[in-house]
Structure 1
Amino acid sequence: MAFRWIGKSADGKSVTLKHLEECKLNTPPYATTSWVRDNADIVRVAAILDVETTGLNQTEDTIIEIGIRQFLFNKNSGEVLAVTKSYSSFQDPGKPISPEIQALTGITDEMVAGKQIDWTAVDALLNECQLIIAHNAKFDRPFIDRRSKTSPERVWACSFKQVEWSDKGFTSPKLELLNIYHGFFTDSHRAINDVDALLYLLSLPDAETQKPYLFELISNARRPMTHVIATSAPFESKDHLKGRGYNWDSINRFWSKIIFKDEVADETKWLEETVYCGPFGGMTRDIALVDGFKS
């Protein structure tokens, strides 16, 4: 599909970006309180979550800010119906925040001093959800799983990986750029602002299907995943594997990637033809839905 800009002028020479204020949603006209009550059988609860941290190391670094919006959606159409609950808080990491993280997030030592995340409140909110969504769940989930009792038992979805943004003509799946492509911007790299941006983005319609992006996300979140491991792959195949989206595990020394289970047959065929030049010499491991994007 050809790339599209939302907010482009009629002559195509400029783009207008609007600042996303508060928690804006693109909700259907029918989404009234009474409709939600009368159609409880097709209404589901989810949460969008984002964290800011002291760094990228999921074992050694810690959360300094969390933002969560709990919302209702129509499980049949993927339409966002309403925001129900929210939670945001700073967390004092017990050590100075690096200048790099302060520059990236705008979060200072003074802002987090003495602040603590109420994990009982977080768990109470997440416990009501059938799905937890993050734009890079592989990053956010391990930080949450370390502190939350509820998160490890919930299904997570990743709007970075489980929406095919490139197929829709968008040249990058980064949230900041997707926001701009869709005609708005936020004060990014602050947890609740990124949550609001993602929730609004997912409520917008796909240009081709006219269904909200959330529909594709929840559909893919229901599809089982499989870890494909290309053990003993010939060295000369590394460029093919890298180009196919495989990642190198320097500790276990193999190439691997996670795909939908229903794509395994096509993937192993590609590996046999391109990498092994014979029978598939690797292995596959199915991933339970609740284990998706875990550390």
Structure 2
Amino acid sequence: MEPSSQQDMEAMVRSLEATGNYRVLRRFEARPRYQSPSPSTVVRRGLIVDVESTGLDTTSDRIIELGLVAFEFDSAGMVYGVDAKQEWFEDPGIPIPAEVVEITGITDDMVRGQRIDDAAVLQEVARAHLIIAHNASFDRRMLERRFPAFADKHWGCSLYDVPWVRFGCRGAKLDYLLFQLCNAFHTGHRAGDDCLATLHVLATPRDGETSPLTLLLENARKTTARLNAIGTPIESKDLLKARGYRWFAGDRSRAKTWYRDLPESELEAEQSWLRQHAYGGLASPPWRVDTFTAKDRYSERVG
């Protein structure tokens, strides 16, 4: 017998979940407001962005869709009002590769003759205190090429600036986080829908009063130190890689080197390790340290 009302369906859900053998997911529904600020709250404005493109090369591929969701938040990571999503297709001027069509569902017919509303985007960027993307190292670089105004903003990354393992998550894909943390499923396939889902995951409190947005803000405020292990011997390669160092092949502005990004507070301890294990105790190693903040993090300027 089919349930006769929403109340009956909720009773069925509770019965199923009470057995411990079932977990019932609810369809994600966007909210216009999570809570209301007190009169003394200093409210800031954030902007969630999501980009779809013709490929993954941030230096040459082109945007085919952009989604934006503006929202209110405070310094503690509490989310308040949420604006309606905004999204646009854009004709890249070239055929969309078949593999991109398969992944995104966006076809040449959908984007033909379309263009992002530049004025609307720039208005939102100008008002935002913080830009957030679920893979900021991609979205930021794509958007800075298309809209240089994004380069002047502070950025956070919901993929890398939140320690999702702290919430018991073994992955960080958006659909998985929505299921694992919010007990919801997401049927949206457009950029604006993904922005709303990203905000919901960030705004949902965990660990008592701690929300993922709180932890994102904490990490976004930190200064990052990039320790460039210049001139380390070839035999230290495996040791450096196991330690979390990454290889940079070099370009006109930077020499080839192994490097590691870490909080500035951990720099001295890491230099001590590097001196002992990779430089053989050398008193003055030829390493170089660069520092950057959320103003530059994830941009092309810091690689």
TM-score range, shorter chain: 0.7 to 0.9
- The answer to whether residue 150 in structure 2 is matched with residue 151 in structure 1 is yes
Greater radius of gyration (CA): 2
Q: Using the TM superposition, give the Cα deviation of residue 92 of structure 1 relative to its aligned residue in structure 2, in angstroms.
A: 0.6
CA distance, structure 2, for counterparts of residue 247 and residue 221 of structure 1: 21
Q: Using the TM superposition, give the Cα deviation of residue 269 of structure 1 relative to its aligned residue in structure 2, in angstroms.
A: 2.4
Partner in structure 1 of residue 5 of structure 2? none
Change (3 A) 1:128 1:275: same
TM-score by length of 1: 0.87
CA distance, structure 2, for counterparts of residue 146 and residue 91 of structure 1: 14
Q: Using the TM superposition, give the Cα deviation of residue 211 of structure 1 relative to its aligned residue in structure 2, in angstroms.
A: 1.7
Moved more, 61-70 or 239-248: 239-248
Q: Using the TM superposition, give the Cα deviation of residue 245 of structure 1 relative to its aligned residue in structure 2, in angstroms.
A: 2.7
CA distance, structure 1, for counterparts of residue 171 and residue 32 of structure 2: 23
Change (3 A) 1:284 1:72: same
Partner in structure 2 of residue 3 of structure 1? none
C-alpha offsets along residues 259-283 of structure 1, whole Å, 9 cap, x if unaligned?
Answer: 2222212222232233333244421
TM-score by length of 2: 0.84
1:127 aligned counterpart, secondary structure: helix
Change (3 A) 1:59 1:156: same
**Amino acid across the alignment from 1:120:** A
Q: Using the TM superposition, give the Cα deviation of residue 239 of structure 1 relative to its aligned residue in structure 2, in angstroms.
A: 2.8
Count of aligned pairs between the two proteins:
279
2:265 aligned counterpart, secondary structure: helix
**Amino acid across the alignment from 2:46:** A
- The answer to whether residue 34 in structure 2 is matched with residue 27 in structure 1 is yes
Partner in structure 1 of residue 228 of structure 2? 229
- The answer to whether residue 290 in structure 2 is matched with residue 285 in structure 1 is yes
Contact 1:176 1:188 in 2 (8 A): no
Q: Using the TM superposition, give the Cα deviation of residue 190 of structure 1 relative to its aligned residue in structure 2, in angstroms.
A: 3.0
1:42 aligned counterpart, secondary structure: coil
- The answer to whether residue 262 in structure 2 is matched with residue 259 in structure 1 is yes
Change (3 A) 1:283 1:56: same
Partner in structure 1 of residue 6 of structure 2? none
C-alpha offsets along residues 164-210 of structure 1, whole Å, 9 cap, x if unaligned?
Answer: 11233211122232222122222366311221111000001122x52
- The answer to whether residue 163 in structure 2 is matched with residue 160 in structure 1 is no
Partner in structure 1 of residue 195 of structure 2? 195
Partner in structure 1 of residue 63 of structure 2? 63
Contact 2:85 2:196 in 1 (8 A): no
2:194 aligned counterpart, secondary structure: helix
- What CA RMSD, in Å, does the superposition of the two structures yield over aligned residues? 2.2
Contact 2:222 2:293 in 1 (8 A): no
Change (3 A) 1:206 1:273: farther
Contact 1:132 1:154 in 2 (8 A): yes
Moved more, 101-110 or 260-269: 260-269
**Residues 174-185 of structure 1: pairs in structure 2 closer than 5 A:** 174-182=173-181, 183-185=183-185
- The answer to whether residue 42 in structure 2 is matched with residue 42 in structure 1 is yes
Unaligned runs of 5+ in 1: 1-6
Contact 2:50 2:68 in 1 (8 A): yes
C-alpha offsets along residues 45-72 of structure 1, whole Å, 9 cap, x if unaligned?
Answer: 1111110111000111011100111100
- The answer to whether residue 243 in structure 2 is matched with residue 244 in structure 1 is yes
CA distance, structure 1, for counterparts of residue 175 and residue 257 of structure 2: 33
- The answer to whether residue 18 in structure 2 is matched with residue 15 in structure 1 is no
**Large movers: runs of 4+ above 6 Å:** none
